[in-house]
Structure 1
Amino acid sequence: MSRHLLMRLRAPLVAFGGETIDSYGVIRDFPALSMVTGLIACALGYDRGDFALHDRLQARIVMGTRIDAGGARLVDFQTAQLNRRDEAWTTHREPETRQGGEDSYKSPHLRHREYHAGLDALVAIRLEPANEQPTLDDVALALDRPKRPLFIGRKPCLPTTRVFIDMIDADHVLGALQQALAPELPDFRFQWPEGEGTLPHSQWRDVCDERNWRTGVHGGWRRVLEGSGPCASNSLELSA
């Protein structure tokens, strides 16, 4: 068996972000590998410029998700009237100035951002190799005492419960999710990596959720499985 760390992702608003097209920030049903990497990196205190640390952490994470409450989807329509003298902070840690002519500021800046409202997700992760720094114990400690603020996908999405739940031993990621204590539902939706367990009637998905942390661009494809099924009748009670 392998040791897995369980995380609870719960907030009034959650954003499992997908591909942003123009001003539309869409969401996915399950959290991206890059999002979980960023969450843990914030807890560990990584700086945005620590590209190698982010890339290595992402490469080591083996993760799966169980949806305990699906919630509802909503769209936040955002508008801001900006002028030429306004500055915006960017991921490059330098203010971004606006270069357009005066006429380009007559219309407001518009964005659409999707959110999950009332979603509750359980994430199981394993780090490979297990003895490399940071270890699962390091991650657990950091999630309880984060060095940077934690948010679930977007900065307004602050967790409303303890993120680190417990450690659990299981043969694979899906097994860890099935063994963890669950609400009384007939079936749950799961997403897990190829080779990390099986469910009847599950379907393959190719997801593009790995980020190149130096360029800030997502690329490549990762094979996952998605399916529905019950949790184990002897689910292990979690400590938090």
Structure 2
Amino acid sequence: MGWRGCRQGRGAMTKRHLIIRLEAPLVSFGGVAIDNYGFTRDFPARSMVAGLLGNALGLERTDADKLQRLQDRLVIAARRDREGYIGVLRDNQNAKLEGNDKGWTTRGSVEGRGGGADTHKSPHRRFRDYHPDTLVILALRLEPAEETPTLDDLVAALESPKRPLFIGRKPCLPSEPLIMREKGPIFVHAATAGAALTLVPTLGDLKEARAQWPYNEGPVGERAVNICDERNWRSGLHGGTRRIVESRIHLPAREAS
């Protein structure tokens, strides 16, 4: 039998949060790209989560207004339940692509290459960072809650996605379903997203974990910084800043079955 929702305290002005597990051999959470270096954050970018949910819902890149609205409604807190065994892994990618090379898009359409003859003389070289063997728990809600898509719509989409899901980059396929009914609650009721994280039991012996939440969605914590992790879905560019808190939180033990 699956878990039921957890609730924070009697009489608390609680809000409903969806719990998502991001677990994979490799994950990439988005970050500022510098030249041919693609860095990764320690916690999922708001734009990355919006893209993941949009992919599950079947939204296209051309659905810029819907993706923008989804991102704007997201309130997200995240914690790292497994850090990985070697830190950040950097992949050195090299490819020599010719003008007549073609590839397949995720929708099955053939994609060709453009440019003049000189465009294809040099190989493409880039570096991409990943977190190996990582498990991150997300507690998220949508504001306003009654607007479509709702949290229940997201559950249905994540359990039966319109397209294959990946965590940040296409090689980062989840090793477990993102909604794990047998391993924890699907919904948690708490006053803030940060508080919601403290109600989700860990699967192992972890007593505390690093976590991140929006500045007004939990205690002040150990570190408050401004980050740029929101995308303008019409232009495709990231910009602006929002204030977040990073700290360590204590975790409840899992109930005996």
Q: TM-score, normalised by structure 2?
A: 0.84
Secondary structure of 1:148's counterpart equals coil
Task: Name the structure 2 match of 1:10.
Answer: 23
Q: Where does residue 90 of structure 2 map in the other structure?
A: 75
Q: Could you tell me which amino acid in structure 2 is paired with residue 18 of structure 1?
A: G
Letter in 2 for 1:149: P
Aligned to 1:186: 207
Q: Retained in 1: the 8 A contact 2:100–2:112?
A: no
Partner of 1:157: 172
Structure 2: runs of 5 or more not aligned:
1-13, 181-185
Match of 1:129 in 2: 144
What are the superposed Cα offsets for residues 19-74 of structure 1, whole Å, 9 maximum, x if unpaired? Answer: 11221111110100000001111111111110110000001000010100111311
Question: Which AA in structure 1 matches 2:148?
Answer: Q
Q: CA deviation at 1:89?
A: 6.8
Task: Output aligned runs, 1:12-161, within 5 Å.
Answer: 12-71=25-84, 72-87=87-102, 95=111, 97-102=113-118, 104-161=119-176
- By how many angstroms is 1:96 displaced? 5.3
Q: Quote the Cα distance in structure 2 between the aligned partners of 1:105 and 1:174.
A: 49
Q: 2: distance between equivalents of 1:57 and 1:98?
A: 33
Q: C-alpha separation between the residues in 1 aligned to 2:167 and 2:199?
A: 24
CA contact (8 A) 2:37 2:127 kept: yes
Q: Secondary structure at the match of 2:39?
A: strand
Instruction: Report the Cα distance in structure 2 between the residues aligned to 1:10 and 1:137, rounded to whole angstroms.
Output: 21
1:81: how far off? 1.3
Alpha-carbon distance between aligned partners in 1 of 2:141 and 2:152, rounded to the nearest angstrom: 11
- Residues of 2 paired with 1:203 and 1:193: CA distance? 12
Q: Please, which of 184, 190, 193 is the counterpart of residue 173 of structure 1?
A: 193
1:95 is displaced (CA, Å) by 4.0
The count of residues paired between Structure 1 and Structure 2 equals: 233
- Residues in 2 aligned to 1:112 and 1:219: alpha-carbon distance in whole angstroms: 23
Given that residues 102 and 110 in structure 2 are in contact (C-alpha distance below 8 angstroms), is that contact kept between their aligned partners in structure 1?
no
Q: 1:8, 1:162 within 8 Å by CA — same for their partners in 2?
A: yes
Q: Please, what TM-score do these two structures have when normalized by structure 1? A: 0.90
Work out the percentage of aligned pairs sharing the same amino acid.
Answer: 48
Counterpart CA distance in 2 for 1:105 and 1:127 is 45
- Corresponding residue of 1:213: 233
CA shift at 1:194, angstroms?
A: 1.3
Please list the CA deviations of residues 155-208 of structure 1 after superposition, one character each: whole Å capped at 9, or x if unmatched.
0111111102411111111111011011322321010001111164x2111110
1:87 offset after TM fit, Å?
4.4
SS at match of 1:17: coil
Q: Which has the higher strand share?
A: 1
Distance in 2 (CA, whole Å) between partners of 1:43 and 1:105 is: 35
